[in-house]
Structure formats: structure tokens, C-alpha cells
Amino acid sequence: MTELPLDQVRTLLAVVDEGTFDAAAAALHVTPSAVSQRVKALEQRTGRVLLIRTKPVRPTESGEVVVRFARQLARLEREAHTELGMTSSEEPTRLSIAVNSDSLATWFLPALTRVPEELRLCYELRREDQDHTAALLREGLVMAAVTSSPDPVAGCSVRSLGRMSYVPAASPGFAARWLGDPPDVPLRDVLADAPVVCFDRRDDIQDGFVRGLRRGRGGASSLRHLVPTSEGFVDAVAAGMGWGMVPEVQAAPLLDAGRLVNLAPDRKVDIPLFWQQWKLDFPALATVAEIVAATASEVLDTA
């Protein structure tokens, strides 16, 4: 079996993290030529192209495997140094986690507050849509992720967290103005023309809801506002900028207060969520996983 020289592996990781060969050279205190030679040698040894030479550079699919290995190796190395007393006992452990915006705004942060303080953990949270957080795992950029994919990334384990429910909501004034109060025509015939609030350009939950009403035809209106924060999204809907699919846990108090109305009480959209993490013998990560799963079971629909 071909061995992977650790200096070459670490160099590849530095190039990916720093974005360019020159920046990696500065971080490693070597010349750019040395960085280039190490990466080329590693590509020759593996027989695969590992980097796409753009600015910033991007790992290929094979490169992602090596980068993930490099990050896991660095994690194990830090643990070994700690157990051998080669680092300060005061140095905290850093966990990188990818999480979708709606989870971050509702149940995820309370979960982290339940983690025992004596573990001395620092969190580096990467906010990304649940359909795309798994990509951060594949690239080795995070150690764990809340994702919508039940299929484990290579080298990762997966467990179900439950389903986050979304309801079609709008302000009472918006509903009366655009949809009729009470609706004069079926919702499927008017919702497609009404202004809509979306999280970003990749957010298609509103389009999917309209297609469901219209048996696969069309989508939401082209009159759409992009509001890329969970709290801002809900505020925009409540302010009457458009209708949107609001997480049920966020919509509930606004519905009770009369600031929002549910446009289709008999319909909602359930998004399954899963926890994926590296397969490492890492007690702190295991503790976080258990607490995240327990907290999710209290908030998400697990039936």
C-alpha cells in the first residue's frame, strides 16, 4: 500500500485552507516552489489530480479525501499531544460544525449550552443550507453537520434527528390584499402570483409548495425577496413583504399573536434532518452528538 508522506499531506491542507500556493508557503515558512513540489509529488504518488488550480484553489473529489484525512490526522495529533502533556491543559478543544440557518435560529444553540463546560469546547459554526452541509463534511471543512441527507459521507456516521416542519404563512394584511379575505379563489390559483420571500437563490421550498398545490405545474412568483437569515426571513414575512414557508416553531407565537396567518392549515412541509460526524474516537464530539440528538427530539417531530 502506498504511504502518504505527512509533510505533503499537511502542505495540501495548507494550500486548501490558505487558498493559494503563496499564502500556504507563508503559513508553512517555506518557499512557494517547495509547496508546489510537495503537492505535485503527492499527486504523483496518488496518481490523481488533487487540486483545481483556481483562485482560491479547490480540492478535487480525490483531493477532498486527502484533505479530510489531513484534518482527522491533525485532530488525533492534538489529542496525542494533550495526553502526553505536550500542550497546555488550558488550551480549549475546537469543534467545527455545519448547521442550517433555521436550526441555528431555533434549537441548535440551546443544545450547545447543555454541553458540560468542563469539556472546554470552542465551536466554529458554519451556516449552510441543510441540503449542502454534507458538502462541507466531504471537503473536510467540518467535523460534524446537521444535514438533510440520510446517506453518510465517506468516513462519517449518520443518525436521524427528526423533521423540521414548515407552514405557509403571511401577514393578515398581505393575505387580505393578495389572496382575498376570506380567499375568493382557490389558494393554488393565486399564490403563484403573490410576492414571496425566499432565503436565497437556492431556496426552493416555496416553489415546491406551490408545485404541490398545482400538481407539479409552475412555482412561486418571480416577485421574490431574498432574505438570507432565518430571523430576517420571518420578520420579512411578518412585515408583509411576501408569503413564505416559516418553520413551525418560529411561526407558532406569531400565529397566536395574530401577526401571521397560516395560509393552508391542512398542509405543511416536513424536512428530515440528520446528524453526520467523522468516525473518530473523540469523546467530546460523541458528547455533543448525544446532546444535539436529545435536544432535537424535544423540538423536532420524531413521530
Phi then psi for 266, rounded to 5 degrees? Answer: -90, 5
CATH fold group of domain 165-270:
D-Maltodextrin-Binding Protein; domain 2 (3.40.190)
Q: Grid coordinates in use for 278? A: 467523522
In the prediction, which pLDDT does 118 show?
87
Q: Find the mean pLDDT for residues 269-282.
A: 89
Of 124-128, 160-164, 234-238, 245-249, give the lowest mean pLDDT range: 124-128
In the prediction, which pLDDT does 219 show?
78
Q: What is the pLDDT of residues 34-62, one digit of tens each?
A: 899 999 999 999 989 999 988 889 899 89
Q: Grid coordinates in use for 76? A: 488525533
Q: Which helix (H) or strand (E) holds 233?
A: helix 230-238
Residues whose CB is less than 8 angstroms from the CB of residue 54 and which lie 6 or more positions away in sequence, other chains included: none
- Percent of the chain whose pLDDT exceeds 90: 50
Q: What is the pLDDT of residues 163-198, one digit of tens each?
A: 999 999 999 999 999 887 655 667 888 888 899 999
Q: Where are the domains of the chain?
A: 6-81, 91-163+280-299, 165-270
CA 48 to chain centre: 29
Q: What is the pLDDT of residues 8-35, one digit of tens each?
A: 999 999 999 899 999 998 888 888 888 9
In the prediction, which pLDDT does 202 show?
87
Same fold, 6-81 and 165-270: no
In the prediction, which pLDDT does 84 show?
59
CATH for the stretch 6-81: 1.10.10.10
Q: Grid coordinates in use for 116? A: 458540560
CATH fold group of domain 91-163+280-299:
D-Maltodextrin-Binding Protein; domain 2 (3.40.190)
